Amino acid sequence: MAYDVVVIGTGPGGYVCAIKAAQLGLKTAVVEKLPTHGGTCVNVGCIPSKALLHASEMFMEAQHSFQALGIEVGTPKLNLKQMLAHKAQTVEQNTKGLDFLMKKNKIDVLRGTGSVVAAGKVAVTAADGKVQQVDTKNIVIATGSDVAGIPGVKVEFDEKVILSSTGALDLEKVPGHMIVVGGGVIGLELGSVWARLGAKVTVVEYLDTILGGMDGEIAKQFQRMLGKQGFDFKLGAKVTAVTKGKKGASVTFEPVKGGAAETIEADAVLVATGRRPYTDGLGLKEAGVEVDERGRVKTDGHLRTNVPGIYAIGDVIAGPMLAHKAEEEGVAVAEIIAGQAGHVNYDVIPGVVYTSPEIASVGKTEEQLKAEGIAYNAGKFPFSANGRARASLHTDGFVKVLADKKTDRVLGVHIMGFGAGEMIHEAAVLMEFGGSSEDLARTCHAHPTMSEAVKEAALATFAKPIHM
């Protein structure tokens, strides 16, 4: 039977694409090699990490905030087994939900490893080795990404002592000392989980800042806050060896600017130095599909590869490796295949780091605007001056709004604070409509809310905030 669309991989890019394609009346199948849908995000990424981040944050709040709020519960005790069970249950609810959505949308699920034979032909190799070939008018590659490791350094992940993000989601015991190689998003989120549960966490990072590419002022302040939460930082340090010992493991690093190498030991090492596009066994070379110098499938502005009828989306192509970016591309490609004008606005893709406090941003940073020579006004407002933040003991952080000096159009919004990941979306909507900081500042915000700090920061770009 010939399909209109066969999607290879059912992560957030692939499953969303398949659902949208089916909704648009296209005969759709998905190929997935894992027993569950949802890809990295649902199985070993966004969802399980957020379950642990939430639970560990509650544990921290119970220890540090309850007393001040007048709640006496004694010393909170960790039940790690139950915390991991909560995580597993959350993942299961999501994967079951996806099975339901596949059925509801009448999407055929082909179990096995997919490969592109040629335009119009996909081979599916099942676990027992049986190969099935399916014909399809369009192929969407949505095979995502995998742990990159450290280029030039042999890292043998055993997922007990030397961990990738997957192992760090499943430790049976809280390590006494955890070294995190890479002060990026995964390192700081999963490092936070284990720090909150009692581990001493040392982050070894190549750059001289954590969260490279984020707003510099936020990164600096956030590092101080993490320091208060018990993190140690070795910045400007290039890791050259990760070695398993009799008990734990050791990490050797040398200062990027030169100097003597240092080796530190820990009970566990999380290596979080980025992810690589996953195209293993896809047969791209044989099918003539081009990849770039970093192994990402090359696409044009319409998510088309160089081979007509073959598209690619998500982590396997260029752009931020984010679930919602993959989803947007999934929708766009389904629309394009259906003859509609699918489009992704890459200028307005929010990014959230789910730490404590959260960090959320959309659009350009001050560093980017300066580098691009764009004149801007910056407005800032701290949560310490926000009534709701005081009432809930969440006064850390601030909002920064960046608006074009001439036109007042909002170019970027950066928030560090409790619930930043929810607050960022009013900025994203505003920017999607090309709104100005005055539009934001003159929009009535409910009181008392943390979001009032967004309004005040917007006001501060062209006038004075009221409450400061």
Catalytic residues: 447
Of the residues 182, 184, 191, 314, which one makes contact with ligand FAD according to CB under 6 A: 314
Q: Considering beta carbons, is residue 165 or 386 the nearer one to ligand FAD? A: 165
In three-state form (DSSP H/G/I as H, E/B as E, the rest C), the secondary structure along 107-169 is CEEEECEEEEEECCEEEEECCCCCEEEEEEEEEEECCCEEECCCCCCCCCCCCCCEECHHHHC
Residue 273 touches which of ligand FAD, ligand NAI, none (Cβ within 5-8 Å per kind): ligand NAI
The distance of closest approach from Cβ of residue 202 to ligand FAD in the complex, given in angstroms and rounded to an integer, is: 19
Radius of gyration of the chain from Cα atoms?
Answer: 23
Stretch near ligand FAD under the rule CB under 6 A, chosen from 34-42, 148-156, 373-381, 454-462 = 34-42
Stretch 332-371: interaction string toward ligand NAI, x if CB under 6 A: -------------------xxxx-----------------
Stretch 134-173: interaction string toward ligand FAD, x if CB under 6 A: --------xxxx-------------------x--------
Structure tokens at 168: 């760090």
Q: Considering beta carbons, is residue 5 or 270 the nearer one to ligand NAI? A: 270
Residue 255 as a binder of ligand NAI (CB under 6 A): the answer is no
Q: Which amino acid is at 275?
A: R
Q: How far apart are CA 224 and CA 17, in angstroms?
A: 41
Residues 261-290 that bind ligand FAD (CB under 6 A): 278, 281-282
Residue 149 touches which of ligand NAI, ligand FAD, none (Cβ within 5-8 Å per kind): none
Q: Considering beta carbons, is residue 40 or 386 the nearer one to ligand FAD? A: 40
Residues 175-204 that bind ligand NAI (CB under 6 A): 181-187, 189, 204
Alpha-helical regions (H) of 306-451? 323-337, 366-371, 387-391, 420-432, 437-441
Stretch 135-174: interaction string toward ligand NAI, x if CB under 6 A: ---------------x------------------------
The distance of closest approach from Cβ of residue 239 to ligand FAD in the complex, given in angstroms and rounded to an integer, is: 19
CB 251 within 8 A of CB 263: yes
Q: Considering beta carbons, is residue 350 or 379 the nearer one to ligand NAI? A: 350
Stretch near ligand FAD under the rule CB under 6 A, chosen from 3-11, 245-253, 408-416, 424-432 = 3-11
Residue reference for tokens 């915390």: 83
Residue reference for tokens 């050259």: 240
Q: What phi and psi values does residue 97 have, to the nearest 5 degrees? A: -60, -40
Is beta strand 262-266 parallel, antiparallel or unpaired with respect to 249-255? antiparallel
Q: Considering beta carbons, is residue 40 or 436 the nearer one to ligand FAD? A: 40
Stretch near ligand NAI under the rule CB under 6 A, chosen from 87-95, 269-277, 434-442, 455-463 = 269-277
Is beta strand 2-8 parallel, antiparallel or unpaired with respect to 131-141? parallel
Query: Tell me, what DSSP letter sits at residue 274?
Result: -
Q: How far apart are CA 299 and CA 309, in angstroms?
A: 12
Q: How far apart are CA 389 and CA 252, in angstroms?
A: 42
DSSP characters for 364-403? --HHHHHHTT--EEEEEEEGGG-HHHHHTT----EEEEEE
Containing 93, the helix (H) or strand (E) segment is: helix 80-104
Q: Where on the chain is the footprint of ligand FAD (CB under 6 A)?
A: 8-14, 31-34, 39-41, 45-46, 49, 113-114, 142-145, 165, 186, 278, 281-282, 314-316, 321-324, 326, 354
Q: Where on the chain is the footprint of ligand NAI (CB under 6 A)?
A: 150, 181-187, 189, 204-207, 212, 238-239, 272-275, 320-322, 351-354
